[in-house]
Amino acid sequence: MTRKKLNLPLLLVIVFFCVYPFFSNFYWIDVAFFFGVYALLGLSLNIVLGETGLFDLGHAAFYAIGAYVTAILNTSFGIPVIWLLPVSALAAGLFAYIVTSPIIHLRGDYLCVVTIGIGEIVRLALINNPFKLTGGPNGITGIMRPSFGLFAIDTSIRFYFYVWGILAIFIICLIRLQRSRIGRAWNYLREDEIAAEMSGVDVRRFKLLAFVLGAALAGVAGNIYASKLMIVSPDTFTFLESSLLFCIVMLGGLGSIPGSVLGAGIITIFPEIFRVVANYRMLFFGGALVITMIFRPGGIWPRKREVVALQADEASDVTEDIKALKIIDPMPTSNVATNEDTSIFERHILVTDKLTMAFGGLVAVKDLDLVVGHGKITSIIGPNGAGKTTVFNVVTGIYKPVSGKVYFEGKDITGLKPHQITSLGIARTFQNIRLFPNLTCIENVMAGLHYKMKSYVVSSILRTDSQKTEEKWAFDTARYWLMKVGLGNVGNELAKNLPYGKQKMLELARALSSMPRLLILDEPSSGLNDRETEDLMIFLENILDELDISILLIEHDMNLVMGISHWVVAMDMGMKIAEGRPSDIYNHPRVIEAYLGREE
């Protein structure tokens, strides 16, 4: 389908909305106004719920903050309502930052319950009239209408164009955010927080950003609502209102901008159509919601991932364009190892010193001393439950050790967060594949480039030259690594649709895209057939030759371990029992005992 054909339906929709108020009565124009307000609110919650996957059932609180800030400042100080649009957004965003900062680590139902509490606290505070500002249960009246100089927005038609004009601006901004580094980061969080942080995404920062931007947009909707009705009261901002906004996003489709607008239209227009049977209209409305969720669980208009051009014949050109960004060393010099230890760090990229990790009374790793040589492949072997994956999780910051230290390139990285460790030049894969299943393959690989990119909200919305250059670099780099692992023709395919072996390679491509100096692989050959395992061995050996990289891997396939490893460490019951060259470990009596047991 050509771009012209794609834009034709959009053009028809724009023309319809422009001419609609001139062929309708005032009642339906006002219905369309509230349609626009709820579309704004739906889009604001879609940032939090749809894009980032955070359950928020107290979103009406931010709507209330915007409305009441407008009402108080306008009626008490005479500040024009139009000037209060950005003030309402800032107030709601600041309030969201303050109340969500302490709870942003919560997930799922726990976060949902807390947000319900936030919404009820705000509503009750408005009723109790703190400092005699909110007017108590009766609210605040006498709010002025917005105006641009002498041009007052004081009719239904003018309010219609006012809200839909603002909505159009925000839709453009949200589409640009959605297709940027920020939108992808939100989606990574929604799909898998651990994989996102190990790809370099600062989970806390981007969760807070979603809440703040969503609240700010809800604050704008509150300002518009207050100026239209000229009165605000606590009865508007109830838990039922938050639930209604939740339904808008779920009904339209998680992460879908047109879906949120459609959901808002259904929520506002559907009840008006059935007003003639007022006693039963909510029954019909509820039934329609149930039917929709049964037959369209992804929403009426779910988001479709963007399809991009992937020309495999341009691989050679792409290779020339791939230039890894320099990794800025964020570590202070005080954490660098002392001079007497310099020699060990010159020879080894990763060193653990007496590393111990315990879960309650269970000691998973005890006093482990591990070294990984520069430019070498080091393997950790041992029976199930030996503590191998726990070592990886401690090294990459998922777990904080009980005691001991982890040094990377001579720097103490013990206790750093996963995204900080990733930014130093460590990347990993997982024993159980952790991809972003509902994102495309190329979006999965671009996750590894996140921490090297610098564009943020303003540059993403304005599409600055630096942002566009950065996006092109990220796309070309991701495409290069897809081709490198043999997935160049599936860049637009959702990750969940790939067979298991290709998913393994996709996860490896994501790790390599960050150009790490240490690549950590957790059972990379598990689930692969003999041919795929052999291809993996060849690939890893080639990568070692081509890149300035070291590899640390856990593996049960002894043919792979003995075939590519330069150094092998054997573990059992959380402790190192042997280490040496592959030939030495293969016949080591303690290793044989760990796997086969002691002969009676």
Write the CA distances from 79 to 70, 72, 145, integer angstroms: 9, 9, 11
Q: How would residue 54 be classed by pLDDT, with cut points 50, 70 and 90?
A: very high
Q: How would residue 545 be classed by pLDDT, with cut points 50, 70 and 90?
A: confident
| 515-354-344 Cα angle (round to 5) | 55
User: Is a pLDDT exceeding 90 seen at residue 51?
Assistant: yes
The DSSP line for 172-222 is HHHHHHHTSHHHHHHHHHHH-HHHHHHTT--HHHHHHHHHHHHHHHHHHHH
Which residue, chain included where needed, has tokens 């007496």?
Answer: 354
Q: Specify the range with the lowest mean pLDDT, choosing from 44-53, 471-480, 538-547.
A: 538-547
Sign of dihedral through CA atoms 190, 61, 97, 214? positive
Largest CA distance in the chain: 99
pLDDT at 291: 83
pLDDT at 210: 97
Mean pLDDT of all residues in the chain?
A: 89
Which domains can be identified in the chain, with CATH numbers? 3-241 (no CATH), 320-324+332-596 (3.40.50.300)
Q: Specify the range with the lowest mean pLDDT, choosing from 37-46, 384-393, 525-534.
A: 525-534
| pLDDT tens per residue across span 464-517 | 999 999 999 999 999 999 999 999 899 999 999 999 999 999 999 999 999 999
| pLDDT tens per residue across span 61-97 | 999 999 999 999 999 999 999 999 999 999 999 999 9
CA separation for the pair 600, 587 (Å, rounded):
19
Specify whether the CB–CB gap between 425 and 518 falls below 8 A. Answer: yes
Specify whether the CB–CB gap between 404 and 368 falls below 8 A. Answer: yes
pLDDT at 298: 84
pLDDT at 277: 65
Instruction: Work out the average pLDDT over 511-539.
Output: 92
Write the CA distances from 464 to 459, 467, 475, integer angstroms: 5, 5, 17
Torsion of CA 142, 145, 147, 149, to 10 degrees: -30
DSSP state of 494: B
How large a percentage of the chain has pLDDT more than 70? Answer: 90
pLDDT at 328: 36
How would you class 547 by CB atoms within 10 Å of its CB: exposed for 0-12, middle for 13-18, buried for 19 or more? middle
pLDDT at 598: 64
Closest CA to 201 of 218, 214, 220, 183: 183
Q: Specify the range with the lowest mean pLDDT, choosing from 64-73, 113-122, 276-285.
A: 276-285
**Of 217-221, 283-287, 408-412, 563-567, highest mean pLDDT:** 217-221
CA separation for the pair 177, 378 (Å, rounded):
41
Q: Which two tokens stand for residue 374?
A: 């520069």
Closest CA to 246 of 107, 105, 112: 112
User: Is a pLDDT exceeding 90 seen at residue 547?
Assistant: no
Specify whether the CB–CB gap between 382 and 593 falls below 8 A. Answer: no
Amino acid letter for position 553: L
Q: Specify the range with the lowest mean pLDDT, choosing from 53-57, 229-233, 247-251, 584-588.
A: 584-588
The DSSP line for 419-456 is HHHHHHTEEE--SS----TTSBHHHHHHGGGGGG----
Q: How would residue 287 be classed by pLDDT, with cut points 50, 70 and 90?
A: confident
Instruction: Work out the average pLDDT over 38-43.
Output: 97
Closest CA to 257 of 514, 561, 45, 102: 45
Write the CA distances from 597 to 61, 592, 593, integer angstroms: 62, 7, 4
Amino acid letter for position 95: F
pLDDT at 276: 72
pLDDT at 595: 74
pLDDT at 293: 78
Specify whether the CB–CB gap between 144 and 227 falls below 8 A. Answer: yes
pLDDT at 140: 96
Closest CA to 509 of 55, 501, 165: 501
CA separation for the pair 313, 310 (Å, rounded):
9
| pLDDT tens per residue across span 398-449 | 999 999 999 999 999 999 999 999 999 999 999 899 999 999 999 999 999 9
**Of 80-94, 300-314, 379-393, highest mean pLDDT:** 80-94
User: Is a pLDDT exceeding 50 seen at residue 331?
Assistant: no
Q: How far apart are the first and last CA of the chain?
A: 74
Instruction: Work out the average pLDDT over 112-138.
Output: 95
pLDDT at 333: 37
pLDDT at 414: 94
Which residue, chain included where needed, has tokens 């108590």?
Answer: 136
pLDDT at 332: 40
Specify whether the CB–CB gap between 58 and 120 falls below 8 A. Answer: yes
Q: Helix, strand, or coil here: 242?
A: helix
pLDDT higher for 333 or 84? 84
Specify whether the CB–CB gap between 402 and 358 falls below 8 A. Answer: yes
Tell whether pTM > 0.85: yes
CA atoms within 13 A on the CB side of 476: 17
The DSSP line for 330-364 is -S-GGGBPPGGGHHHHHHEEEEEEEEEEEETTEEE
| pLDDT tens per residue across span 130-180 | 999 999 999 999 999 999 888 999 999 999 999 999 999 999 999 999 999
Instruction: Work out the average pLDDT over 198-224.
Output: 97
3-state helix, strand, coil in the chain (%, to 5): 60, 10, 25
User: Is a pLDDT exceeding 80 seen at residue 318?
Assistant: no
pLDDT at 344: 67
Q: Which two tokens stand for residue 228?
A: 């239209």
How large a percentage of the chain has pLDDT more than 90? Answer: 71
User: Is a pLDDT exceeding 50 seen at residue 259?
Assistant: yes
Q: Specify the range with the lowest mean pLDDT, choosing from 28-42, 219-233, 283-297, 480-494.
A: 283-297
